[in-house]
Structure formats: structure tokens, C-alpha cells
Structure 1
Amino acid sequence: METFRDAVGRLAEEEFIGREKELASFQERLRQNQGSPGGILNVYGTAGIGKTELLTRFRVEALQAGALFLRIDLREAMGQTTWFLQTVSSLLAMNREEAQAEPDPRRLAEELNATAGNGKLVLALDQYEAAGSVDQWLREEFFPMLRADAILVIAGRHPLGGSWMLSSIWRKWIQPLPLECFTREEAMLYLERRGIVDERRRVRLWLTTAGHPLSLALLAEEGAHQEEGVARGDIQSSFEELLQSWLQEVPGETLRA
């Protein structure tokens, strides 16, 4: 029987468009022999550009390749190493009786390494801008305990910088994967899959959103059953949702207000 996760994954795969270069980079690392350095794929881009959707597709690719894939939203860690460890332990609990109440970092890293077995270990960290002090701890203590062939996917609004790039070792392991807006062809195909077949309407939606995936998705939802092109009301009703996402790019509550 299909679960909600199965259904969501299937729908996400049906609507997934483009990102050939990013998928190729991930698939190449999955195909590497065991023992080959996994490295870091740094996925970054503005809010609504499709980072989480790409990680969802990475999960599908990883499972098909027999890899162990764990995705952690760094917002859940709240800048606390203990919360991060508990989240990882909870995800691993599906393979044992229960999660550890207070996971030991070394034991948890060893369990991650062992659970992957002969397959790849993929650790995907989403919303990395919310890492806070966990960032330094991950870089200096937790990541070094993982298997050398582990694939780390770090996704956030901004590229890794600071101490990551100051270290010649980490810098060599990082492959930047900046996400761009949809091209005209990708936007046309996406809208067609969303049920908008009128070419003039699709062109107008693409021009209105400049190919920004989240904007395109919201306006497509409202415009899919309309007989005419995008109306002013369509844009206004979606603006509030988009605004909340874009405002997260602004640092500080005062400036945001």
C-alpha cells in the first residue's frame, strides 16, 4: 500500500524539472567505489529556488543506489549539538528499537558508518544558514568521525564561506552547486506538467516570475484553471506568501520590518 511519503515522493518526481548538472554530480559520487572520498556538495540559492526539492530527488537517487540517506533540517537543531544528535539518532531509530536519549557523538558516528554497510552514506543538511554554533562543531568534531567515502550535502541560502574556505583541506572537498531560476524551456515544461497548456499563458507566467520556481508554482496553482492569463489579483494574492520567504534573506528584525 502506498504511504504518504511514497505519494509525495512520486508527485515530486513527476514535477521535478531540470537540475541535470546537479543530479549528475550527485550520481557520479554515488557511483564511486567504496573508499573513494565522498566530499561535500554545497547546494545554495535564494529562498524558493528549489533546494529542498533537489534534496528530495537526491534521496530517490540514493535509495535506488542502495545508499543510506539521512536528511536533517538544521532549524530543528536550534543551534544545539544535543538536538542535532537526537535528530540523527531518531532517524536511525527506524533500524533499531528506539532512539538514544542522550546520544554519544562518537558512538552515533560509528553507528552511521556501520549502518551504511557496503553502500554509500549520504548526510544531507538542509537550511544550513540556521546551523549557528553547530557549524563549527560539525566541521571540527562530527564530520571527521564519519567514513571518508561519506557524501555530505550542505544546502542553504549562501555558499559555504569563512572557516570552510580558509581551510585548504575542506576547500578541496567542497563542490559548489549554485541553483538558478528555471530557463524558458524548463518553465514551459513545468507549467505544462501542471496542466497549463496555453502557450501564451505559460509565457506570461514565465515572464512574471522570471523563472523563480516557488513564484512559478504559486501562480501556476492559481492560474491553472483560469481561461485567461495572469490577472493582477493572482499576483497580489500570492505576494504575501512569497514575501515571507524573501524576507528571510534580510538579516535582522529591524531591517526586516
Structure 2
Amino acid sequence: MRVALFVTCLADAMFPQVGRATVELLERLGHEVVFPEAQTCCGQMHVNTGYQRAAVRLVEHQVDTFAGFEAVVAPSGSCVGSVRHQHAAVARRAGRVALAHRAEELGARTYELSEFLVDVLGVTDVGARYPHRVTYHPTCHSLRMLRVADRPLRLLRAVGGIDLVELPDAEQCCGFGGTFALKNADTSAAMLSDKLRNVLATGADVVSAGDSSCLMHMGGGLSRLSVDTRPVHLAEILAST
């Protein structure tokens, strides 16, 4: 299959190893991965902060950039959620009916990594090996918007050598929420504190998730606590051999 990598802003600017791991994993499974260099921000932060007019241009650019690919895969439930559930609505509010139809078509073939592996490729054992104690945090957009359910856990359970431990109150938000963490800093910090308390209670070496944004938030908190537990993206674990 010819797959386009939708790398996302955070992976491009701050966590390039996540994009590389996604490519390595998909190529190991026998697929051609293409990186459309024209890709930019999908516009999620514009939509969420009320800049609808600016978001329309980004929706149009996203549709044009990823035209012609059988599948588009991103290591981010948050960004895939925006493409699948926000883009068409943004176009319709702007009176761009044709663009809305194109956005819906693109959304239907844009996948978060774990759902692409399990639902499209039909695999759970990707040949990974990761001999560490790991706990998994299901991010809000992947859990509630995309409803990826246990797909990431099914993939992690098949990883060789892993000691996968359940995270208490796993479905509670880590407190990031994009601009929420800036506009509601005290609430965000309290939510993060609860999340990290549960992460550390597992005794895990690694906390994993499918979104770099949440891992960045938790990683900052773990760093300030001066503990050994570290954040690692799901793609990096699945790419390990």
C-alpha cells in the first residue's frame, strides 16, 4: 500500500523521532511511505481558538496536499480527529460545499496509527521487541473522538519482552488540552499531578501514548519530579526490534 505520512506540527518541530519511527514501522510491514513536503499545520489550533476563516485555507491545503493517496497515517489522535471531525464542518460554515465534500473524503482515509495497523492492515503483532515496564495513557482525542478503544493496548500486548501494566484511572485527561493548559494553568497542573501520581504508582519505566502533545505535557511534569520514568510514543515502541 502507498501511504502518506501526515507527520503533524509537534513531530515535525519537536519530536522528529516519532515521525521516523512511524515510517520505519510501516516500511517494515511492507508498505511504501511517502512524505508530502508541502504539508503544514492541519488547522486544529485555529479551529479550537476561533480562527475559522484562517482555518479554511489550511483545510483546503490539507485536502490538496494529501490528494491521491490510498491512506494517510498520522502518529496523533488529536490531529486525525481534527481532519476527520472538524475540517468538513469548517468548510461548510464558510459556504465551501465542494471543499467540505473533499474534506469528508480525505477524513475517511486518514487514520491514527493504531487504528490503521489494526483496522486497515489487520495486524496486532508488528514484530516489535521492547523489554521495559510500560504503562499506557489513552489520550482524550483518540479515546473520545476517534474511539480507538483498546487498539493501542492490543498492539502493545503483542510486543516481545514488554511488561505492560495497567494505568489506574487511565481514561482521565492528563490536563494538556492544547490551549487549555495555557488558559487554565492551575487546573491543568492539578490534572497533571493526578495523572503522574497514577503513572508513578505503576512502577513503570515508560509511560506511552499516541499523541506527542500529551507526552510532552507528562514529560515536563516527570522531569520536574526528577524521576526515572520517561515518556515514549507508541510508534517508537512498535518500531523497536
- TM-score when normalising by structure 2: 0.33
Structure showing greater relative contact order (alpha-carbon pairs closer than 8 Å, 6 or more residues apart)? 1
Higher helix share: 1
Larger Rg: 1
- TM-score when normalising by structure 1: 0.31
